[in-house]
Amino acid sequence: MTVTRLAAMLACGMLAGVAQAGDLPRESRVPGGIALVEIPGTSDLPPTVLIDARRAAVIRHENRWLAIVGIPLSTKPGPLKLRVTTGAKSVDVPFEVTDKLYRTQSLTIKNDRQVNPKPEDLKRIESEQERSNVALSKFSTGGAPVFALLPPVEGQRSDSYGSRRIFNGKPRNPHSGMDIAAAKGTPIRSPAAGTVVEAGNFFFNGNTLYIDHGYGLVTMYCHLSEIKVKVGDPLAAGDLIGTVGATGRVTGPHLHWGVALNRAMVDPALFLEP
Ligand SMILES: [Zn+2]
């Protein structure tokens, strides 16, 4: 299936510069989901689209401009609006976000320091947060837009994206990615073309790397046993980037896979074939 999918991606022109209908992620206008919003008007000029002052991806689709917008998990259901600027003219384009109920998940971590960090850990955690923010803020243009992804690793996919998390009895941030269970050492492959923009050992996420795919689409890979690439490396879809491990705050070996659009960590399942 993977090979067929890649062939299909090549055949439908994904790598030729203009994204086609089949390349779009699935739409789900909920917190943590994706909105595909048609931009009104007939201008040939590409508009700039902002959500919360963050730039969103825009592609040409069926002779219209289409914004591909990540909806932050923390969004309250209700109206949201995009600020659309074409040339010298700006308009608001509203859309509606509906509610989604996510589960609560309780986990026990053996190393309590990973749940209740010591004061001396906080400085490290803060600087890693900053590095992560910088990586997630990338909005590179120039390459072909890619919005369909290959699974980065073969294995059992959890549907725990968005779960409220209780670690050792303490509420912590909700789960912002997909966990894929696989044995330590299983190869992890780049889900699409991109560039490695950050890599290192992080306090909570263990060995971690970030790939910039362009237009605000950034993917992250956590708890790796080994990182096989370095910052600045260009990647093609399917390139080996690392191996599954159990580094950082984990209960066992798996890949934590995060997908960000306009800096919002959205549900990675929306980019994969069901
Ligand atoms: Zn995870």
CA of 149 to the centre of ligand 1 (A): 18
CA of 176 to the centre of ligand 1 (A): 7
pLDDT at 22: 53
CA 70 to chain centroid: 9
Which stretch, 45-49, 61-65, 105-109, 183-187, has highest mean pLDDT?
183-187
pLDDT at 6: 44
Lowest-confidence region among 18-22, 217-221, 262-266: 18-22
Query: Which amino acid, residue 168?
Result: N
CA of 249 to the centre of ligand 1 (A): 9
Lowest-confidence region among 14-28, 51-65, 136-150: 14-28
Q: What is the mean pLDDT of the chain?
A: 90
State mean pLDDT over 84-112.
92
CA of 15 to the centre of ligand 1 (A): 30
State how far the Cα of 90 lies from the Cα of 19, in Å rounded to an integer.
25
pLDDT at 119: 87
Lowest-confidence region among 77-86, 105-114, 147-156: 105-114
pLDDT greater than 50 at residue 17: no
pLDDT at 57: 96
pLDDT greater than 50 at residue 9: no
State mean pLDDT over 68-92.
96
State how far the Cα of 261 lies from the Cα of 271, in Å rounded to an integer.
11
pLDDT greater than 80 at residue 59: yes
pLDDT at 239: 98
Residues 225, 228, 230, 236, CA torsion sign: negative
CA of 255 to the centre of ligand 1 (A): 7
CA of 248 to the centre of ligand 1 (A): 11
CA of 158 to the centre of ligand 1 (A): 9
CA of 217 to the centre of ligand 1 (A): 19
CA of 89 to the centre of ligand 1 (A): 42
State how far the Cα of 59 lies from the Cα of 36, in Å rounded to an integer.
10
Please, are residues 92 and 82 in contact by the beta-carbon 8 Å criterion? yes
CA of 10 to the centre of ligand 1 (A): 31
Q: What is the pLDDT of residues 116-149, one digit of tens each?
A: 888 888 999 999 999 999 999 999 998 888 898 9
Confidence of residue 107 (pLDDT cuts 50, 70, 90): confident
Strand order in the sheet with 240-243: 187-189, 240-243, 226-227
**What is the pTM (predicted TM-score) of this model?**
0.89
Confidence of residue 44 (pLDDT cuts 50, 70, 90): confident
Neighbours of ion ligand 1 (CB under 5 A): 179, 256
CA of 179 to the centre of ligand 1 (A): 5
CA of 135 to the centre of ligand 1 (A): 18
Please, are residues 75 and 31 in contact by the beta-carbon 8 Å criterion? yes
pLDDT at 10: 41
CA of 234 to the centre of ligand 1 (A): 25
State how far the Cα of 135 lies from the Cα of 200, in Å rounded to an integer.
12
pLDDT greater than 60 at residue 20: no
CA of 164 to the centre of ligand 1 (A): 12
Lowest-confidence region among 79-83, 96-100, 145-149, 180-184: 145-149
pLDDT greater than 70 at residue 87: yes
State mean pLDDT over 96-116.
89
State mean pLDDT over 171-188.
94
CA of 88 to the centre of ligand 1 (A): 43
Paired residues of 85 in beta bridges: 48, 90
CA of 254 to the centre of ligand 1 (A): 8
Nearest 5°: CA angle at 67, between 64 and 70? Answer: 160
